[in-house]
Amino acid sequence: MKKFLRDYPVVLLVTVIFALGIGTGYFLGAHKGARVREVRREVVKPEEVKQVAIASPAPAAGLPEILPKPFLPSTVIQEGAAITEKLVQPQMMGKRPWKPKIVFVIDDAGYNKKHNDLLFSIDRPMTLAILPLLPYSTYFAEEGKKHGLETVLHLPLEPENGEDPGPGAIQVNMSSSRIRSILNQDLASVPGVIGVNNHMGSRATRDRTLMYLILRELKKRKLLFLDSMTHPDSVAHNVAFAVDIPSFERDVFLDNEDDFNHIVEQIEQAAQVAKQVGKAIAIGHFRENTLRAIKAMIPELEARGYEIANLQGLI
């Protein structure tokens, strides 16, 4: 063993250092434990601290007195929580069931008042398209609004066959200044309209330049546009989209035949369109059979889940 230690003295050195380390660690641990126990004996218990705090009527001299803010009454907190919950509560889907919408547009008002009582007796949202510069143009613009109807200018535009569209008509070959002048005159004769739809116009609505000029003027006045689709190649709706004004297209003509039963069939066709795509715009004329058929069919349509709307209701 002595020979081994002489040959390997480092082993002895490591052993001695290891023994010293164990001894030192034991001493320090015992000393720290005694100190912790001593400190614990000096710490005042929470109950004692509470008693001292309650017994002190005033803060120490030289220190500012800081009083705690009183808590809000529990009723105020509860009411605030209830209001917050109501504001952030998500709306239940299905509270108001979705309904397909049908818009009835009555064209050619302004010539006479022959069917005005029948028109105003329908008592549902509808759109009344009023021709300009006629004996009763202003009358229907004013009375229509009084009875809750939406009114639009039924703007006469040049047709393909050369037929006369009536007073206030705009032709394709007119100058831009002339077009603006006529449009202003037409709008002035039917005050309070929310938009425009075309009367005739199978030629005019295919002229992109003319429609751009008209629709840009409508945009300045914040009016919407309904393309009556008197020609399948009409560009009016597309130009309106480019100009960025609210625009619609007619889906169904109701009274190409002035027959009650035929008009009822066309209303059914409009209902099918609305059921498939969510809305349908049906255009008829200021005629007795048309108004009678609409009035007769509305309660049935509503019972089947359709909503009777106007053009603004589609925006």
Give the residue-averaged pLDDT of 92-106.
80
Give the residue-averaged pLDDT of 196-217.
98
Which superfamily, per CATH, for 101-314?
Glycoside hydrolase/deacetylase (3.20.20.370)
Q: At what angle do helices 288-303 and 260-277 cross, to 10 degrees?
A: 40
Give the residue, 205 or 24, on which the prediction is more confident.
Answer: 205
- Which positions ≥6 away from 15 have C-beta within 8 Å? none
Q: Does 259 score more than 70 pLDDT?
A: yes
Q: Is residue 29 very low, low, confident or very high in pLDDT (cuts 50, 70, 90)?
A: low
> Residue 252 pairs with which residues in a beta bridge?
282
Cα distances (Å, whole numbers) of residue 275 to 269, 305, 307: 10, 10, 11
Q: Is residue 63 very low, low, confident or very high in pLDDT (cuts 50, 70, 90)?
A: very low
Tell me if residue 152 falls in helix, strand or coil: strand
> Residue 101 pairs with which residues in a beta bridge?
279, 307
Q: Does 52 score more than 50 pLDDT?
A: no
**Whole-prediction pTM:** 0.70
Tokens representing residue 36 in the block: 């912790």
The pLDDT score that the predictor gives to residue 130 is 98
Name residue 129's amino acid: A
Please give the helix or strand (H or E) that residue 83 lies within, else none: helix 74-88
pLDDT digits (tens, 9 = 90+) for 146-159: 999 999 999 999 99
Q: Does 17 score more than 70 pLDDT?
A: no
pLDDT digits (tens, 9 = 90+) for 268-285: 999 999 999 999 999 999
Q: Does 238 score more than 60 pLDDT?
A: yes
Name residue 305's amino acid: G
Please give the helix or strand (H or E) that residue 102 lies within, else none: strand 101-109
The pLDDT score that the predictor gives to residue 9 is 58
The pLDDT score that the predictor gives to residue 25 is 56
pLDDT digits (tens, 9 = 90+) for 105-125: 999 999 999 999 999 999 999
- Cα Rg for the chain, rounded, in angstroms? 43
